[in-house]
Chains A and B, each alone.
Chain A
Amino acid sequence: MNGAPQVHYLNVDYGIRSWLFTTDHKRIAWLYLLSVTLFFFFGGFFATLIRLELMTPQGDLVQAETYNKFFTMHGVTMVFFFLIPSIPAVLGNFLVPMMVGARDLAFPRLNLASWYIFILGGLFTLASAAAGGVDTGWTFYTPYSSIYSNSHVALTVVGVFVTGFSSILTGLNFVVTIHKMRAPGLTWFRLPLFIWAIYATSIIFILGTPVIAITLLLVGLERVFNLGFFDPARGGDPVLFQHLFWFYSHPAVYIMVLPAMGVESELVTAFARRRVFGYSFVAFSSLAIAVIGFLVWGHHMFVAGQSVHAGLIFSLLSFLVAIPSAIKVFNWTATLHRGSISYDAPMLYALGFIGLFTIGGLTGLFLASIGVDVHVHDTYFVIAHFHYIMVGGSVMAYLGGIHFWWPKMTGRTYPEPVARVAALIVFLGFNLTFFPQFVLGYLGMPRRYHAYPPEFQALNVMSSAGASILAVGYVLPLIYLIWSLRYGRVAGRNPWGARGLEWQTPSPPPTHNFDVTPRVVAEAYAYDKEPEETYEFGSPSRA
């Protein structure tokens, strides 16, 4: 029963065509995994250059203009081509159908098309890098981006525009799948919390992404045809751009962190061997974050010329996001309480997530209060804050999730001791990189400069040293995960003894996930029951 099936999704067919024309959600997940990993190291390359330049106060490695391109390429790549697709398109693609007991997503060919659209957008961005790069920052603020910048704004903007459609279609696919394709007996409140999180994320994908797409299109039009949307000289409003941009880009933060929270709920329950504390609160807090996340965008514009009245309202609403976020953190903590906890590598990432996300979230409250924001806006305090959320939160959860589901994806286990060491290296390297940046920012070091006063050097050297440790922590998993594909121990269907539906099918799963359509009689966290009491595999498959 625990052995790998004779024929599974990986060995059913070989050759490059069987991958490039696949409609199997599990294979498409691998296509995304390979592509976002490449983009991650591409974006990481620019981060390395940034940290190298900031080792010394003088701008001695590169010129200011080149440095501007470094942080822009870093931001654009990491946000649009790694963080946003990472958990939804890799883990979401692989897991959503299996977690709901379906044979595939609702629209398998649309799913493959989404990947091609993503790659097409990525090629535009890579082309702009090859042609000389962009220097506007990932935020493309007007009128600099639309009129004054001499770099490849149009090419990059088109890349992000195209990629947006990949997000929209992926979100659509998930929403329809979750609504229409749940296995018999799988009611909404028996769903894994990962599904709730992906569902909330999909809503943001569908409702938010069109706004960024049209906004960037307007920037391109203003740039190419000299229209006056954002140029004050022609009756436009530069702050209007920031409204439109952040209406998507603040919720985009939740596109990055909501799926991470979903992964977190799966990891915490599996390694504490307990039912999640307050299931419905965790589930609904995902939806609350998705909705409230759309009401707070003005907190990016407190000092950008936005009215005081709007600033007050956006400040107040921003504080509200803390409530559903805190509900989640408290509920995970309560789940750990009196759990029988094991410290495997995914759990180390999960625990790291709780701490780092909490620091990132609480410093977000500092920034939501206008008085403090006036002091620290556009400083390294902001940089540290959002890296705690996106790297300390999302990347940690992504790595935890990759480790957790690696046996399911590949049928092999990774080497546990070295994975634990890597998780600790990531945690230490991360904190050494980014904690000094809180101090730097509070002392007044502005972001986006390649040179700085000498008194900031010690903290910057700490940060650069941390970045090199972090790099080791990221390269290690790359090595041992690839190693495990060939030399890893055969995993069996449920190596963690988890209760989710995806663990009840062989590893790697057959092409259609389940040989027999499962019938669900309990929720996904029934750790007080045997898996056989949660799922029935009685009825023959409706092939």
Chain B
Amino acid sequence: MSNGAHITVKTYLTVFVILLGLTALTTGVAFIDLGGGLNNFAALTIATVKALLVVLYFMHARTSDRFTWVIAAAGIFWLLLLLGGTLDDAITRNQLPGELQLTP
């Protein structure tokens, strides 16, 4: 329970500044047309990095015990289940029964 003690105020501030920088980056990238769906990819990648930083530092996952890691991993796994099932529908939405295959 005292796991969070290892993270200093300096680290918090550094992470906070990085998060602000990444937010600016997201906004900047939105103004450039990367083409081929790369804008989505860039925005999601930056968002994932930001979420990771929040979980690791602000939520103390970095300094927590193994069990907390298991719980956090379960959350990510459940998110993948949600994305997987929904994408399966989205990708095959226009296929008829005779032509079932897993391609967009």
Contacts and interface: CB of A to CB of B under 8 A. Distances in A.
Query: At the interface, is chain B mostly helix, strand, loop or mixed?
Result: helix
Contact of B88 (A239, A240, A305, A310): A310
A22 B93 CA distance: 53
B81 A295 contact: yes
Interface string A234-252: 0001011001100100000
B74 A239 contact: no
Q: Which of A203, A207, A237, A297 has the most CB of B within 10 A?
A: A207
A462 interface: no
B81 A310 contact: no
A339 B47 CA distance: 59
A207 B100 contact: no
B85 A309 contact: no
Interface string B61-98: 00000010000001100100110011011111111110
A301 B85 CA distance: 12
B85 A314 contact: yes
Interface residues of B, number: 20
A297 B89 contact: no
Interface residues of A, number: 25
A305 B94 CA distance: 9
Given A207-B75, A308-B97, A298 B85 contact: yes
Contacts of B75: 207
A211 B82 contact: yes
A309 B81 contact: no
Contacts of A203: 74
A306 interface: yes
Q: Which of A211, A297, A305, A306 has the most CB of B within 10 A?
A: A306
A294 interface: yes
Contact of B78 (A207, A244, A306): A207
A247 B96 CA distance: 25
Given A208-B78, A301-B89, A310-B88, 9 more contacts: A203-B74, A243-B85, A243-B86, A243-B89, A244-B86, A247-B86, A308-B92, A312-B100, A314-B85
The 3 closest A-B pairs by CB, nearest first: A309-B92, A310-B89, A307-B92
